[in-house]
């Protein structure tokens, strides 16, 4: 099948500016962490921590007291904003590092946060996952609260669930075993006991893998089995910590005296159990900053809910709300597709979506490709990856993303056949790999006894010393042929060699001992260097990552949305999952699907409904204007009898629809274009609107601009709205004027005579 659209790839490596840019936030100085220097110097003062932040990010960084809610769209620099917030507070002497607890959802994200804080001169701040923070507290307080040794923590509960099923004489196949384990995890994080599982699952609209009564029986047997064996699971870590903090006020106060300021990243993914733990950590205080985006809620099947994020202002009326919508990651073309996906969304999360505004230079349009079958789709992706590699784009800047892990094998084979190195996302952590651990031991030994190590004879600088040491561990100047385990080990060692080059360039005169110390710091923070290889990952595991080039594969009905997504809520979560995939791309985005599963199969598939109206040649329903789309700041207030609440203020961010430049002038914002950009206004329509306005002003006895200003009439004449929805989107047309004048204006735009009837105020 011939591709629907093709683009010419530029030789410039993705993500690298074509020319230097001024170091200001208006001109691209604010970027994602991926593009920041590898070993930056720590800022020399608290104020220097704020350098390079845009106005909204600076609001986040300086809002150090009271509840703060940051609504941050994809690619808007949320991690940058909150790490600079913590660092600014520490460097200004407002926050004590040991009194801050920052929590997130993955070890990788926590490690990245610790690494950034260290680079900003704010070492000592605790950045952990919910489970890691709770486990440390549980281990410390168990002897005092419970007594004796703490039960052993089991890494995987699947075997325990299998044993519980055997005890109940219930046969589970592999899929049912996995799904039943997931149901038990969901029940525990939503604080549902076995006896209440059936009604709770029905209320939540969950489709149990077996009869709910059987799941409840298995759940109860699983809990009994854990008690008999003296073990606990990861959910128990949270449940037991919550129980101790609820029952032992002295322990709760001890924790609260230690941690006085809390930051929660990815707040849209908080479960009811995690929210309860957070409330117990806080007590009666409100020094809390939460960051999230309801449009990236993709883990509701695990018990995550965006309600805590969306209801934050209700629970904390005095909260400051900052909206980040400036997208520094993706080109306007990628952002346009992402906004288009959400514009068709429905539901509560969609009502609070953020409309992103790209801050990057224009790039290529997304490429949409249809294939005959899945192997052809995988081979097509591999061919394009090879072209990208030949054009100079590093393999580590390319990702292939799919809906389910079962799709991975086809793409692994296609890349291997093409001789393209790849890495599977979700595999063993970098510093836990055997070859990396052995390399660390060898480097440490060489640093200690370097003068007597013949390997270092002739090695004149740090990079050559590292190359010499790692050559004894299997590193070679040229990569081994093919793929597989040998190539993966080489890639790990090559990442250490590249890190040594970067470290020496950033710190001239650094020794092998200095590099070993840096590796130790990185291992503690799980701040891994880049491994060269195309990333293969599921959409769920790609959350929080980004690449110059992204291939979204298998974007067909039955795969996304997945077949078992039937309710409106499930369908909308699938849409958000695709949105997350789209927003992983910085510059090049390839979207593909196949008509059949295997060669010669029935071509009965069709592209995902989510692409309707967005891909070339398709039609679909028009989207809606984002309810909370504009960036800016809303100051909180505490209501008091007889005192009027202050008006909320917003900084409006807009871009010219012709040239794309950021505009702030109110008149230009009304037209959504710069004054000196060409106008496509219908002059005849503009004159008819002016005549109608003059008659309305005469009848009402008020100045003409009170009906509509000249700018608003120009915007109407340029837009030519077809219905009330289109008309309402034009700045200057509020609900009152839409009700009063809408019918007349739409009639004039359609070439008809207005009704002529005047409504009363």
Annotation: binding site for ATP: 72-79
- Residue 274: which residues within 8 A CB-CB, separation 6 or more? 130, 189, 238
Q: Are strands 654-655 and 662-663 parallel, antiparallel or unpaired?
A: antiparallel
CA 387 to chain centre: 28
Beta carbons of 594 and 374 less than 8 angstroms apart: yes
- Residue 571: which residues within 8 A CB-CB, separation 6 or more? 561, 565
Q: What are phi and psi of 441, to 5 degrees?
A: -65, -40
Q: What are phi and psi of 467, to 5 degrees?
A: -60, -40
Provide the b/e sequence for 65-104 (b: ≥16 CB within 10 Å).
Answer: ebbbbbbbbbbbbbbbbbbbbbbbbbbeeebeeebbbbbb
Element (H, E) at 180: helix 174-189
d(CA 551, CA 530): 20
Peptide bond connecting 561 to the previous residue in cis, omega within 30 degrees of 0: yes
Beta carbons of 368 and 592 less than 8 angstroms apart: yes
Beta carbons of 693 and 673 less than 8 angstroms apart: no
SS (H, E, C) 662-715: EECCHHHHHHCCCCCCCCCCCHHHHHHHHHHHHHHHHHHCCCHHHCCCHHHHHH
Structure tokens at 328: 């520094």
Element (H, E) at 528: none
Element (H, E) at 587: strand 585-596
CA 240 to chain centre: 30
* CA distances for 393 relative to 12, 389, 495, angstroms: 8, 5, 17
| Binding site residue list | 72-79
Beta carbons of 196 and 212 less than 8 angstroms apart: no
> What is the residue whose two structure tokens read 């077996």?
210
SS (H, E, C) 217-271: HHHHHHHHHHHHHCEECHHHHHHHHHHHHHHCHHHHHHHHHHCCEEEECCHHHCC
To 10 degrees, the CA torsion angle through 668, 672, 674, 679?
Answer: -110
- β-strand partners of 551: 400, 590
To 10 degrees, the CA torsion angle through 173, 178, 184, 189?
Answer: -170
N residues, the chain: 761
Structure tokens at 43: 């800022």
- β-strand partners of 373: 596
- β-strand partners of 534: 422
Rg of the chain (C-alpha set): 29
* CA distances for 167 relative to 162, 194, 212, 220, 738, angstroms: 9, 16, 18, 11, 67
Q: Is 489 helix (H, G, I), strand (E, B) or coil?
A: helix
CA 461 to chain centre: 40
């Amino acid at each position: 099948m011939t591709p629907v659209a093709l683009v010419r790839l530029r030789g410039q490596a993705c993500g690298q500016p074509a020319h230097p840019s001024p170091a200001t936030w208006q001109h691209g100085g604010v970027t994602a962490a991926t593009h920041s220097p590898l070993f930056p110097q720590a800022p020399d003062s608290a104020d220097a921590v704020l350098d390079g932040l845009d106005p909204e990010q600076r609001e986040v960084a300086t809002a150090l007291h009271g509840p703060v809610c940051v609504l941050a769209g994809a690619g808007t620099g949320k991690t940058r904003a909150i790490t600079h917030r913590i660092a600014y507070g520490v460097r200004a002497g407002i926050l004590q590092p040991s009194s801050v607890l920052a929590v997130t959802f993955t070890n990788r994200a926590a490690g990245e946060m610790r690494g950034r804080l260290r680079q900003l001169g704010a070492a000592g701040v605790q950045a952990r996952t919910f489970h890691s923070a709770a486990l440390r507290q549980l281990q410390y307080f168990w002897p005092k609260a419970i007594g004796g040794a703490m039960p052993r923590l089991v890494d995987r509960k699947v075997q325990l669930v299998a044993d519980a099923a055997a005890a109940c004489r219930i046969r589970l196949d592999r899929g049912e075993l996995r799904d039943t384990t997931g149901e038990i995890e969901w029940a525990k994080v939503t604080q549902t006991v076995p006896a209440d599982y059936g009604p709770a699952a029905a209320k939540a609209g969950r489709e149990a893998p077996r009869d709910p009564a059987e799941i409840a029986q298995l759940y109860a047997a699983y809990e009994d089995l854990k008690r008999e064996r003296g073990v606990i699971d990861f959910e128990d870590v949270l449940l037991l910590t919550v129980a101790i903090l609820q029952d032992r006020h002295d322990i709760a106060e001890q924790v609260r005296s230690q941690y006085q300021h809390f930051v929660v990243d990815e707040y849209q993914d908080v479960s009811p159990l995690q929210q309860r733990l957070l409330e117990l950590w806080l007590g009666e205080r409100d020094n809390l900053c939460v960051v999230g985006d309801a449009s990236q809620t993709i883990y509701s099947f695990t018990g995550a809910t965006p309600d805590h994020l969306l209801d934050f202002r209700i629970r904390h009326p005095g909260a400051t709300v900052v909206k980040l919508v400036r997208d520094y990651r993706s080109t306007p073309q990628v952002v346009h597709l992402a906004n288009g996906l959400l514009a068709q969304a429905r539901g509560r999360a969609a009502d609070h979506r953020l409309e992103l505004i790209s801050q990057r230079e224009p790039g290529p349009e997304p490429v949409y490709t249809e294939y005959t079958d899945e192997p052809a789709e995988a081979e097509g992706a591999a061919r394009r990856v090879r072209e990208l590699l030949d054009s100079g784009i590093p393999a580590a800047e390319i990702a292939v993303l799919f809906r389910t892990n079962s799709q991975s094998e086809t793409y692994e084979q296609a890349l291997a056949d093409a001789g393209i190195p790849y890495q599977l996302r979700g595999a063993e952590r970098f510093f836990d790999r055997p070859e990396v651990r052995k390399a660390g031991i060898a480097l440490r030994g060489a640093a200690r006894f370097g003068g007597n190590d013949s390997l270092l004879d002739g090695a004149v600088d740090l990079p050559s010393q590292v190359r010499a040491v790692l050559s004894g561990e299997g590193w070679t100047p040229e990569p081994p042929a093919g793929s597989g385990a040998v190539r993966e080990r080489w890639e790990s060692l090559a990442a250490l060699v590249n890190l040594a080059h970067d470290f020496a360039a950033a710190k001239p005169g650094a020794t092998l001992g200095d590099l070993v110390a840096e590796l130790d710091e990185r291992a503690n923070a799980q701040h891994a260097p880049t491994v060269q290889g195309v990333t293969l990952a599921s959409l769920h595991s790609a959350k929080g990552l980004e690449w110059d080039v992204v291939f979204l594969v298998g974007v067909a009905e039955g795969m996304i949305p997945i077949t078992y997504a039937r309710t409106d809520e499930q369908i909308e979560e699938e849409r958000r999952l695709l949105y997350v995939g789209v927003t992983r791309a910085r510059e090049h985005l390839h979207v593909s699907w196949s008509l059949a599963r295997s060669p010669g199969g029935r071509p009965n598939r069709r592209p995902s409904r989510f692409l309707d109206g967005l891909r070339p040649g398709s039609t679909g329903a028009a989207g809606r204007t984002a309810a909370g789309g504009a960036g800016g700041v809303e100051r909180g207030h505490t209501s008091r009898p007889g005192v009027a609440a202050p008006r909320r203020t917003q900084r409006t961010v807009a871009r010219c629809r012709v040239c794309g430049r950021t505009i702030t002038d109110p008149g230009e914002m009304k037209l959504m274009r710069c004054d000196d950009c060409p106008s496509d206004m219908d002059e005849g329509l503009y004159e008819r609107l002016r005549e109608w306005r003059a008659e309305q002003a005469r009848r009402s006895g008020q100045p003409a601009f009170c009906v509509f200003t000249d700018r608003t009439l120009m915007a109407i004449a340029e837009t030519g709205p077809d219905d009330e929805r289109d008309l309402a989107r034009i700045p200057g047309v509020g609900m009152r004027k839409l009700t009063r004048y809408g019918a007349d204006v739409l009639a004039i735009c359609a070439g008809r005579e207005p009704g002529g009837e005047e409504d009363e105020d």
